[in-house]
Structure 1
Amino acid sequence: MKVVCAGGGPASLYLAILLKLGDRSREISVYEKNAAGATYGWGVTYWPDMLHTLMSHDDVSARAIEKESVRWSGGVAHIRDRITRHDGDQGYAVGRHRLLEILADRATSLGVDVQFGRPLTPGDPSLEGDLIVAGDGSRSVLRDHYPEHFGTQVTLGHNRFIWLGTTKVFRSFTFAFVETEHGWLWCYAYGFDGTHSTCIVECSPRTWQGLGLETAERADALELLEGLLAAPLQGHPLIDRTDGGALSSWQRFRTVTNRVWSRGNMVLLGDAAHTTHYSIGAGTTLAMQDAMALAQALQSSAPLPSALERYEQVRRRELLPLQSAARHSANWYENLTRYIHLEPHEMFALLGQRHSPLLPYVPPQLYYRVDRAVDRAQSLRSLKRWLGPRVARLMQKG
Structure 2
Amino acid sequence: MKVACVGGGPAGLYLSILLKLQDPSHEITVHERGPEGSTYGWGVTYWRGLLDRLHLHDPESARALDEHSVRWNEGVAHVGDRTVRHAGDQGFGIGRHRLLEILADRARSLGVRLEYAHEVTADRLPEADLVVAADGVRSALRTRYAGHFGTEMTAGRNCYAWLGTTKAFDAFTFGFTETDHGWIWCYGYGYGPDRGTCVVECAPETLTGLGLDRADEAEGLILLEKLFADALDGHRLLGRSPADGGTPWRTFRTLTNRTWYRGNLVLVGDAAHTTHYSIGAGTTLALEDAIALAGALRELPTVPQALARYERERKAALLPAQSAARYSAQWYENLPRYLRLPPEEMFALLGQRHSPLLPHLPPRLYHRLDRAAGRLTALRRAKRWLGPRIARAAQARAGAGRRG
Structure 2 unpaired stretches of 5+: 398-404
Alignment check: 8 A CA contact 2:220 2:247 kept: no
Equivalent residue number for residue 256 of structure 1: 255
The within-5 A match list for 1:193-212 is: 193-212=192-211
Equivalent residue number for residue 292 of structure 1: 291
- Distance in 1 between the 2:61 and 2:214 partners? 43
Equivalent residue number for residue 31 of structure 2: 31
TM-score under structure 1 length normalisation: 0.97
- Distance in 1 between the 2:228 and 2:88 partners? 25
Equivalent residue number for residue 395 of structure 1: 394
Equivalent residue number for residue 350 of structure 1: 349
SS class of match (1:253): strand
Equivalent residue number for residue 76 of structure 1: 76
The residue type paired with residue 19 of structure 1 is L
Q: Deviations over 1:31-88 (max 9, x none)?
A: 1111111111111111111111000000010000000011111100000110011113
- Distance in 2 between the 1:354 and 1:81 partners? 23
Higher Rg: 2
TM-score under structure 2 length normalisation: 0.96
Q: Deviations over 1:188-220 (max 9, x none)?
A: 000111110110000000100100011111100
SS class of match (2:161): strand
The within-5 A match list for 1:15-26 is: 15-26=15-26
Instruction: Determine whether 1:322 maps to 2:345.
Output: no
- Distance in 2 between the 1:304 and 1:260 partners? 16
The within-5 A match list for 1:131-170 is: 131-170=130-169
Give 1:131 deviation, angstroms. 0.6
Alignment check: 8 A CA contact 1:38 1:245 kept: no
Structure 1 range deviating more: 272-281 or 87-96: 87-96
The residue type paired with residue 2 of structure 2 is K
* Count of residues in correspondence between the two structures: 397
Equivalent residue number for residue 6 of structure 1: 6
The within-5 A match list for 1:273-288 is: 273-288=272-287
Change (3 A) 1:244 1:55: farther
Equivalent residue number for residue 384 of structure 1: 383
Instruction: Determine whether 1:43 maps to 2:56.
Output: no
Change (3 A) 1:253 1:36: same
Change (3 A) 1:250 1:293: same
Structure 1 range deviating more: 55-64 or 384-393: 384-393
Change (3 A) 1:322 1:345: same
- Distance in 2 between the 1:298 and 1:84 partners? 48
Equivalent residue number for residue 105 of structure 1: 105
Give 1:396 deviation, angstroms. 2.9
Equivalent residue number for residue 119 of structure 1: 119
SS class of match (1:171): coil
Give 1:364 deviation, angstroms. 0.4
Structure 1 range deviating more: 272-281 or 142-151: 142-151
Q: Deviations over 1:256-314 (max 9, x none)?
A: 11111111110111000000011001100000000001101111343211211110000
- Distance in 1 between the 2:84 and 2:260 partners? 43
SS class of match (1:199): strand
Give 1:248 deviation, angstroms. 4.8
Q: Deviations over 1:305-362 (max 9, x none)?
A: 1211110000000000110010000000001011111110000000000000000001
Give 1:247 deviation, angstroms. 5.8
Alignment check: 8 A CA contact 1:76 1:86 kept: yes
Alignment check: 8 A CA contact 1:137 1:271 kept: yes
Taking only the aligned residue pairs, the percentage that are identical comes to 60
Give 1:394 deviation, angstroms. 2.6
SS class of match (1:365): helix
- Distance in 2 between the 1:269 and 1:301 partners? 18
Q: Deviations over 1:128-175 (max 9, x none)?
A: 111111100001001111121111111111000000011111111000
SS class of match (1:192): strand
